[in-house]
């Protein structure tokens, strides 16, 4: 879908979600944005309106299945959605046996996995009925190999990647395009607290441009930056006996 005119983005109050909202904002575009921070979401919505877009912004908890479904149905009724980006996600802090305590681990799965499903499933039903539409799921390069410092985060992103890539084939006959986004280190509030080197760190605005190009080309997997993607792919493909010693030397947070 090269020029979507009705776009819904979760997690749009900061980071990649906010950058994507700004990237797509233009005259003739209707944006439906959700986030957790009302102040930041309002600022993003205002900036997108200044760029000419029509914007509906709401505070929606992606873990609330009924609330997300109701919001998506409302937005689709106003303007049939061309593109839905299930972007909302969280990472874990340090602490606990694996770098994440139990409450944090369960919250990560609730937001990163259930939240994505809560967003995608209500969207593909009307898209399938129309025979057209596109959904994008936010995974991560961390989903290619479990990181000892962030087991729940890595696993949640691996689940999103596998589900999204399987879904792509499952709904292709309905005219729905599905892409899985796997970014590396991006300058966002999520990475701002990291005190260790982050290779090939890029701005959220640059990431948004890469994602938009990939979605316009209907790429099944939008993974970047390429050098880091290749490294993570190779590590994920290698036997644990080889990679475990390397993984144990990584920082206790990704």
Catalytic center residues: 153
Beta strands 83-86 and 6-9 are: parallel
Sheet containing 83-86, strands listed edge to edge, beginning at the edge strand earlier in sequence: 54-59, 30-35, 6-9, 83-86, 133-138, 176-183, 221-224
CA distance linking residue 116 with residue 136, whole number of Å: 10
Q: Which residues pair with 146 in a beta bridge?
A: none
Q: Whose structure tokens read 């000419």? A: 52
Secondary structure E strands in the chain: 6-9, 30-35, 54-59, 83-86, 133-138, 176-183, 186-187, 202-203, 221-224
Alpha-carbon distance values, 113 to 33, 77, 119 (Å): 19, 26, 10
Q: How crowded is residue 164: how many other Cβ atoms within 10 Å of its Cβ?
A: 24
CB 34 within 8 A of CB 11: yes
> Nearest CA to 142 among 163, 117, 161, 165?
161
CA distance linking residue 178 with residue 84, whole number of Å: 10
Residue 83 is given by DSSP the state E
């Amino acid at each position: 879908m090269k020029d979507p005119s009705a776009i819904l983005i979760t997690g749009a109050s900061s980071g990649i979600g906010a950058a994507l909202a700004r990237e797509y904002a233009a005259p003739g575009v209707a944006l439906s944005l959700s986030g957790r921070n009302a102040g930041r979401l309002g600022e993003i919505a205002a900036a997108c309106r200044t760029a000419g877009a029509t914007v509906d912004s709401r505070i929606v908890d992606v873990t609330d299945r009924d609330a997300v479904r109701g919001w998506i149905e409302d937005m689709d009724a106003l303007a049939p959605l061309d593109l839905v980006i299930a972007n909302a996600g969280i990472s874990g802090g340090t602490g606990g046996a694996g770098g994440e305590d139990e409450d944090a681990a369960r919250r990560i799965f609730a937001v990163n996995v259930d939240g994505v499903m809560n967003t995608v499933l209500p969207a593909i039903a009307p898209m399938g009925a129309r025979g057209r539409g596109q959904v994008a799921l936010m995974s991560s390069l961390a989903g290619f190999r479990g990181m000892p410092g962030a087991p729940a985060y890595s696993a949640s992103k691996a689940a999103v990647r596998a589900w999204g890539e399987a879904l792509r084939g499952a709904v292709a006959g309905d005219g729905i395009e599905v892409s899985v986004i796997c970014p590396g280190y991006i300058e966002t509030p999520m990475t701002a607290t990291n005190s260790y080197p982050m290779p090939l760190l890029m701005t959220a605005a640059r990431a948004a441009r890469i994602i938009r190009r990939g979605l316009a080309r209907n790429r099944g997997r939008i993974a970047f930056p390429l050098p880091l993607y290749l490294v993570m792919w190779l590590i994920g493909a290698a036997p644990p006996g080889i990679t475990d010693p390397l993984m144990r030397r990584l920082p206790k947070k990704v």
